[in-house]
Chains A and B, each alone.
Chain A
Amino acid sequence: MSQQLKSINLSKKSDNALSGKSNCGIKRVAFYPGCSLEGLAVEYDHSTRAVCEALGIELVEIPDWNCCGSTPAHSLDPGLSAALAGRNLAIAAEQGCAAVMTPCPGCLKSLKGAVEVYQNPHTRASFLELLGMPFDGQVKAISLLQLLSEEVGSEALQRAVRRPLKGRVIVPYYGCLLTRPASFAEFDDPENPMTMDRLIEATGATVPDFPLKTECCGATYGVTRNKIVGKLSGRIMDFALRLGADAIAVACPLCQQNLDLRQGQVDRFWKRTFNLPIVYFTQVIGLALGIEPKTLGLDKLFVNAESLLPSLDEEEDGIEESMRFSALGSQKV
C-alpha cells in the first residue's frame, strides 16, 4: 500500500483512478481537515468527502489530529509550528500512510514546513525534541487540488460528469499560498496556475482567464484589520464580475471566509452590492457529478449559490437523457 502511495509524483499523468485499473497512484490517502473545516468551512469538509468518494479516493482521517498552529505559530517560532504540524504527520505514518492530503493551503504550508524543518540539519534536533514522537520525514503533504488534478485529472472528471454546468461562468481563484513559492509548493505554476481551471472546465462551466487568481484576499486580517480585507477582497470580486462571473471558485477556507462571510463588510467598504456567490471548487465538481446540493453543503454558504443549480428546463433535459441511457441499457439486456 505504502508503495502505491509513494508513487504520487510518478503517476502525474495518470487519470485512471476512475477506470478501475489497479496500478493507479493514490486511492487511499490520509486526510487532515484542519480546524476551519470543523467550523466555518464545514461545507468544504462535506464536499471534499463526497467528491473523493464519488471519484474513488478513500480518505482516512488522521485520528485525533491537532491544529497546525497556522500563522500565529510561525510568527512566534517556525520550530513550534513544525512540531505542531509534525504530530499529525507522525500519526499518519503510524497509520501506514505515506501521503497526507489537506484541503486547506494554510495547513498545507505548516505540514510541508514540518518536513522542511526536519530535513534541515540545523533544525532537526530541536524539532525532534519539541515533537517528542518518532518521525522519519517520509510522509508527503499535498493539497486536495493536487490530489484531484494528478490522481483523477480533468479527462477522467469530464467522463464522470452527470450534470454539466453549461452556461455558468465560474472564475477560479487559487489564493496566495496554494502554489507559492514554487520551490516549496512543487505544484502547478506560481503565477498562472491552471489545474483548477482545467477541473472546472471539465464540469462544463465557462472559465475565464483571471489575472488576479493568486492575489492575496487580505488573509488573517479580517478580525484585526478589517479594512484591508475590504479593499483586497473587493478588488478580486470586482474583477471577477467584470469577467461576467456567476460565481468564484476557491480552494482555501480563509479566502472563502473573506469573500463570502465578510462580503457584507466588503460591500460597505466599496459602497456597492457585489452579491457574488463564493463556492468551494469541490462544490462545483460535486454538483457536476450529480451529488445533492445539501450533501455538498451549498446551503451553508452565506451568499446564495443556487444560480449554479440546473434550472427546471435543464433538469428535464437531464432526465430525458438519463431515460434514453436506461432505455439503451435495457435494449442491450
Chain B
Amino acid sequence: MAISININGEQRDVDAEPGTPLLWVIRDELKLTGTKFGCGVASCGACTVHLNGEPVRSCQTYIEDVEDAEITTIEKMAEDRVGAAVQQAWLELDVVQCGYCQSGQIMSAVGLLRENAKPTAEDVDEYMYGNACRCATYQRIRAGVLRAAEILEA
C-alpha cells in the first residue's frame, strides 16, 4: 500500500505493507543506507533513528505508525546543532572502528544530549546501554558524548 512519510524534512511516498519495519523502508525503498540492520529485535541499536526528535529502534517501528511523525536519520545529523557537535567529537576522538554501529550510536548520543546537556559518565552508560558495538569502542563513545557536551556548552 502507498504511504506518505516525512523523512529528513521531505515528504516521501513509499510502497510498503502494514507491519513493515521502518528500517527496511528507509534502507531498501528510500536507499538511505546510513541506518543499519544489526539484529532485527531492538537489541543492538544499529538501526536507531529519530521519531519526532526521540531515538527509536527502526527495526521495531512499523510503517503504519509513523505516518504523522517526523523521521530523521543519520544523513541529516550534520545539520542538527547537537548532531554536528557529536560528529565533531567523534572525529576528534576517532571513535569509530568498523563503523557499522556508529550511525546508531550517534543517533542515541544526540537523544541523550537533548535530554541531558551535562551528562555524567554514569548517565552515558545508562542511556547508551542498548547500543552494542562489537568492536568495543565504548570508552571512546563515552568520552565522545562527554566531549560533545563540552562543545555544545562552549
Chain A partners chain B: no
Question: What residues make up the interface of B, taking CB atoms closer than 8 Å to A?
Answer: none
Question: What residues make up the interface of A, taking CB atoms closer than 8 Å to B?
Answer: none
